[in-house]
Structure 1
Amino acid sequence: MTTIIDCDCHNYWMSAEVLLPYMDGIFKDFFIRGEQPGPVGAFPHGHRPWLHPEGFKRADINPATQEEHYSLMKEKHLDRYNIDYAILTGDEALEASTLANPYYAAALVRAYNDWMVDYWLPKDSRFKGSLVISPTDPHGAAAEIRRLGGHPDIVQVLASHGAQRPYGDPFYHPIYEACAEMGLPFAIHLGGQGGVNSNPIGAGPTTFFWETHALLPQSAMTHVASMIAQGVFEKWPDLYFVVIECGVAWVPSLLWRLDANYKALRKETPWLKMLPSEYFKRNIRFTTQPLEQPGTKVEHLWAILEAMDGENTLLFASDYPHWDYDSVESLHIPPQWRDSILGGNALKVYSRLPQPKTLAKTA
């Protein structure tokens, strides 16, 4: 049987007020009495310049209680597709990085992490957690990684792709030092636009959500190039960098450009010992959702995936329960790659994952 590991499964709350028991002092006062965007119970974050017209969740996912978030996930996703592990990626907590106050942002993600460990991880042995950080304070983020990163069911560190500067910048290196120390991959997830973060669209803010969603890979391109050029993978050669929900078809063209420019101008970055594409293959992984849809000829996409060594660099992700959810059955990849992409590659990246029962049965 094929091992299936979902590398982007969103766990929700009915109200962000579930975090209040995990907060104290002035930051709890900020949350209770501060002027927050959105309705009562909304998570504090900076405003976006655009709005989603329909909401982010699938139309058939409408839990009436907190407990139903799990029961619906179990019924419609985990059990239906025999998921071996679901890596929880939260949701609104990623927006903490849009706040101007880095100490408040750190308090919010700390509260989320404690709530996730207490509430979600015990619910199902298939759940593995992402430790959410706010990179606006790298030293504070590193302290949070060291505080909770030893938990056996925490498998990665997660930040939003909206950021104040490219992620390879030495400003962020304390985060990677802590990740390496704890043996955890560093992942970025679509989100964190607005507030103090740089706009993810290079020429300026967009107007419509569908337009914005199509262009969001722009910031991922910047982060990938920066992580390579700044020598992050020379300093920490065993660090995995996981890019979640940013598309993949653009990757080969970026690698081709990076390789060509590096060959001509390598004296700028003498610390690099390999081609950018070689660092990519060794250290960077992409999730499949949302995998581009090439119209009538899927072979066009497959040629692009082959150019990025997709059999070894892609990780399955469903993005449950969002509107553009991808099921195991709808994943349009070469059939001979399915074992690697659905689970085999993730087992190499997330080294803390125990051997799944499906794998044990076929061993």
Structure 2
Amino acid sequence: MDLPRIVSVDDHVIEPAHLFDTWLPAKYRERGPKPLTAGIGELAYVGGRYRFTTDPEGEPTDWWEYEGNLFPYKRVIAAVGFDRDAMTLEGITRADMRPGCWDPGERLKDMDVGHVEASLCFPTFPRFCGQTFAEAADKEVALACVRAYNDWMVQEWCGDSGGRLIPLCLIPLWDVRLAVAEIERNAARGVRAVTFSELPTHLGLPSIHTGYWDPFFAACQDTGTVVCMHIGSSSQMPAASPDAPPAVQATLSFNNAMASLADFLFSGVLVRFPRLKLAYSEGQMGWIPYALERADDVWREHRAWGGVRDLVPEPPSGYYYRQVFCCFFRDKHGVASLDAVGRDNATFETDYPHVDSTWPHTRQVALDHVRGLDDVTVHKILRGNAIRMLGLDLACGPDGAGA
């Protein structure tokens, strides 16, 4: 089967050590993030959060230091090139990573190996929606860091890629007015994607039900900016027993996306902003058919006492099919349920360079999932839906095809 080149809507970038020295205004650099290499001690993942210690005699690790806090890079988030059993919770330096993790030219080469034409990359040190800066004490510096990251993302990471690296920007989560200004600033230079928290209340922020975020949603709608929400962008992962191994959180990770989708379907946000587009990243899609069935059933049977009779005038699934995108990389159940998931709603990802990444076998993984589907559907879920979602101009791409 001749597969079209893939447009991946969820990959990741390891920030280069020079990012803030280069892009942060000089007056903020002393108070901004600083790179260092130092030994790491114990590193564990407990209850959906990382815990670590430093150790001068430990494994050399690249870190960021910011406001007295340390942020290590871990092998599991720069896992490509390692054997599966070597993808552990150890510290890692950029020198030990595959260069495509942080070098845009090398990333393009690895994308070619993976049959990928274009890629949208989430941040690492800032965390998936910029929580690192939202938690900072000095918000003046934090705002400068958000803008510096976005400038680096647009001009350096994506700038010379010929449109193959797609910019994904941050907002200052702590101030919706500043968030709107940053959406507009980046949209003016062609950015069409912003990362946001799947469950903002977990970050101590207002919920989407309060109306607080409406100016942000309005700005995204008006500029055609897609609101991208990665699992874990609430700084929490679903957990069962507090002492369960990390494999439990990994298995349950889709729960965050499911909770967030239910929030949006019953919030009225998609009613008030009918051209707003949401994208759920790394949540897979096999859960979506039942989530929509249940939401519609609740709307039909429980809308009066459930508080949504006047807020959501139509069955919730209709808003999903009109405005929401999901993505997958290993989800044969989801593909088997594609009519319910939505042939116009499903997109593909590679998760490079995380431990879950399909690289360098992405083409084969994609083929295993789409074999038996018609050519139009294959084109939609591997590239066409992503091109439409993000408003990409890939008509002159390597395979000579656009949306």
- Larger % of strand: which? 2
- Larger % of helix: which? 1
State whether TM-score is above 0.5.
yes
Flag the structure with larger Rg: 2
Q: How far apart, CA to CA, are the structure 2 residues paired with 1:352 and 1:74?
A: 17
Matched, 1:146 2:184: yes
SS of alignment partner, residue 213 of structure 2 = helix
Q: Is the CA contact 1:167–1:223 (under 8 Å) kept in the aligned structure 2?
A: no
Aligned to 2:23: 22
Q: How far apart, CA to CA, are the structure 1 residues paired with 2:142 and 2:241?
A: 25
Aligned to 1:286: 326
Unaligned runs of 5+ in 1: 293-297
Q: Greater relative contact order: 1 or 2 (C-alpha under 8 angstroms, separation 6 or more)?
A: 1
User: Cα deviations across residues 113-167 of structure 1 (Å, max 9, x unaligned)?
Assistant: 1111221122311222112224333222111111112212x22111243632554
> What pairs up with 1:8-87 in 2 under 5 angstroms?
8-15=10-17, 17-24=18-25, 28-31=29-32, 41-42=63-64, 44=66, 54-60=75-81, 62-63=96-97, 69-76=103-110, 78-87=111-120
Q: How far apart, CA to CA, are the structure 1 residues paired with 2:318 and 2:350?
A: 27
SS of alignment partner, residue 170 of structure 1 = coil
Aligned length: 346
Which of 116, 125, 131 is residue 92 of structure 1 equivalent to?
A: 125
Q: 1:23 to 1:68 in 2, by over 3 A?
A: closer
- What stretches of structure 1 move > 6 A for 4+ residues in a row? 37-40, 45-48, 64-68
Q: Is the CA contact 1:136–1:164 (under 8 Å) kept in the aligned structure 2?
A: no
Q: Is the CA contact 1:287–1:314 (under 8 Å) kept in the aligned structure 2?
A: yes
Aligned to 1:185: 226
The residue type equivalent to 1:217 in the other structure is: F
Aligned to 2:9: 7
SS of alignment partner, residue 84 of structure 1 = strand
Aligned to 1:295: none
Unaligned runs of 5+ in 2: 36-51, 55-60, 83-95
Q: 1:209 to 1:53 in 2, by over 3 A?
A: farther
Q: 1:68 to 1:159 in 2, by over 3 A?
A: closer
* TM-score (structure 1 length as normaliser): 0.81
Q: Is the CA contact 1:162–1:191 (under 8 Å) kept in the aligned structure 2?
A: no
Which of 330, 339, 346 is residue 365 of structure 2 equivalent to?
A: 330
CA RMSD in angstroms comes to 3.6
Structure 1 range deviating more: 202-211 or 312-321: 202-211
Q: 1:356 to 1:7 in 2, by over 3 A?
A: farther
Matched, 1:275 2:315: yes
The residue type equivalent to 1:60 in the other structure is: G
* TM-score (structure 2 length as normaliser): 0.74
Matched, 1:315 2:347: yes
Q: How far apart, CA to CA, are the structure 1 residues paired with 2:392 and 2:67?
A: 32
SS of alignment partner, residue 212 of structure 1 = helix
Q: Give the percent of matched residue pairs that are identical in Structure 1 and Structure 2.
A: 21
Aligned to 2:86: none
Q: How far apart, CA to CA, are the structure 2 residues paired with 1:4 and 1:186?
A: 21
Q: Is the CA contact 1:134–1:159 (under 8 Å) kept in the aligned structure 2?
A: no
